[in-house]
């Protein structure tokens, strides 16, 4: 599969006059972006309708940015994406195989992780023809677009949140959206219990989304979400307890529960600054109170899958 002509995420997708840029990274984070081996050291990995920035040391995505077109979405079975009916994940040779985690992580001892898509394969499953949509979907199966997620999270509430954004708020009304997704790569993330190819690996425990769209008045709007998996990993002994640090304000989120939050909180957590827009959701409480209010302990798998997230977009 050639990536030569993949244009990636488009900042003018929603409007030529209201551009939604890739996030600006903090000085510290910008120094950690992995760059291509060829092509002048460019850091943006461009695929079909989406782009990725990869963290050099963590070997995981910083952000995956996608353009969704509900008008051109094509309904396809996952088993129809590849010729033999099974997922075919691969590493991106442009960035260097040693700069990204691959199958070795997901088959390691004590690994109970799903290869969690950041840009959902259905998000870019659109085009003029079904053939185009199938091709675009296949390009989401790069390890650069994946994070290790607990199966209950990936197949439960995270999937429900993704489906809500795609189907309830995009395809059903034939709307366009630009979606940024990523893990919070915190310095005090817990370590995986086993080394992978002789390396210790920190696992992200928070995942976020920032969604941009144009409202009925053609105003550029945005909303943000957070989902956590810390307790799920600790319950199954997949991670070592996080080491003590001076600032732990953001390490005790509940799990399996979607949280609508201020985009400014996501910026604070990630070191990413997003394009200014109308914030549909506003919460004036201090971060500490927000964290206390959104705890969700002991949710069963059934509750995680069935919990409604209607009304997330106000």
Q: Which pLDDT belongs to residue 156? A: 67
Instruction: State the pLDDT confidence band at 20, using cuts at 50, 70 and 90.
Output: very high
Q: Which pLDDT belongs to residue 236? A: 63
- Indicate if the pLDDT at residue 51 is higher than 60: yes
Q: Which pLDDT belongs to residue 238? A: 60
Region 81-98: mean pLDDT is: 90
Instruction: State the pLDDT confidence band at 237, using cuts at 50, 70 and 90.
Output: low
Instruction: State the pLDDT confidence band at 306, using cuts at 50, 70 and 90.
Output: very low
Judge contact between 168 and 258, C-beta under 8 A: no
Q: Which pLDDT belongs to residue 309? A: 42
CATH superfamily, domain at 24-306: Extracellular Endonuclease, subunit A (3.40.570.10)
Going by DSSP bridges, is the β-strand pair 61-69/50-54 parallel, antiparallel, or unpaired? antiparallel
Separation CA 18–CA 23 (nearest Å)? 15
Q: Which pLDDT belongs to residue 29? A: 96
Separation CA 167–CA 314 (nearest Å)? 16
Q: Comparing 3-7, 182-186, 187-191, 269-273, which segment has the lowest mean pLDDT?
A: 3-7
pLDDT tens digits for 189-232? 989 989 998 999 999 988 999 999 998 899 999 988 888 777 67
- Indicate if the pLDDT at residue 11 is higher than 50: yes
How does the average pLDDT of the chain come out, rounded? 81
Domain ranges in the chain are 24-306
pLDDT tens digits for 117-137? 999 999 999 999 999 999 999
Tally of helices (H runs) and strands (E runs) in the chain: 9, 12
Tokens of 109: 């001892």
- Indicate if the pLDDT at residue 297 is higher than 70: no
Residue 72 Ramachandran class (φ > 0 left, ψ -120 to 50 alpha, else beta) = alpha
Separation CA 181–CA 294 (nearest Å)? 20
pLDDT tens digits for 238-296? 655 444 333 332 223 233 344 678 899 899 999 999 999 999 887 765 565 554 444 33
Look at residue 235 and give its three-state secondary structure.
Answer: helix
- Indicate if the pLDDT at residue 25 is higher than 80: yes
Region 168-173: mean pLDDT is: 77
Separation CA 55–CA 285 (nearest Å)? 32
Q: Which pLDDT belongs to residue 61? A: 97
């Amino acid at each position: 599969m050639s990536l030569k002509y993949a244009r990636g995420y488009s900042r003018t997708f929603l409007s030529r006059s209201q551009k939604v840029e890739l996030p600006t990274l903090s000085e510290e984070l910008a120094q950690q972006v992995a760059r291509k081996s060829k092509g002048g050291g460019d850091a943006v990995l461009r695929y079909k309708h989406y782009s990725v920035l990869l963290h050099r040391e963590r070997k995981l995505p910083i952000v995956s940015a996608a353009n969704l077109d509900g008008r051109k979405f094509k309904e396809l079975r996952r088993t129809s994406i590849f010729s033999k009916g099974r997922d075919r994940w691969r590493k991106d040779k442009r960035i260097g195989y040693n700069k990204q985690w691959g199958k070795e992580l997901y088959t390691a001892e004590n690994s109970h992780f799903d290869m969690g898509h950041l840009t959902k394969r259905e998000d870019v499953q659109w085009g003029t023809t079904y053939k185009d949509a199938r091709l675009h979907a296949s390009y989401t199966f790069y390890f650069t677009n994946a994070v290790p997620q607990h199966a209950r999270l990936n197949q439960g509430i995270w999937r429900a949140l993704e489906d809500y954004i795609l189907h309830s708020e995009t395809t059903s009304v034939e709307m366009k959206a630009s979606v940024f997704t990523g893990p919070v790569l915190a310095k005090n993330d817990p370590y995986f219990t086993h080394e992978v190819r002789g390396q210790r690996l920190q696992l992200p425990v928070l995942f976020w989304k920032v969604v941009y769209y144009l409202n009925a008045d053609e105003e550029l709007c945005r909303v943000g979400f957070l989902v956590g998996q810390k307790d799920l990993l600790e319950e199954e002994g997949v991670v070592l307890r996080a080491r003590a640090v001076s600032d732990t304000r953001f390490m005790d989120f509940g799990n399996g529960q979607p949280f609508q939050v201020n985009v400014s909180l996501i910026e604070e957590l990630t070191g990413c600054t997003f394009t200014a827009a109308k914030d549909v959701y506003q919460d004036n409480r201090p971060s500490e109170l927000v964290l206390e209010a959104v705890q969700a302990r002991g949710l069963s798998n059934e509750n995680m899958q069935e919990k409604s997230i209607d009304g997330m977009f106000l």
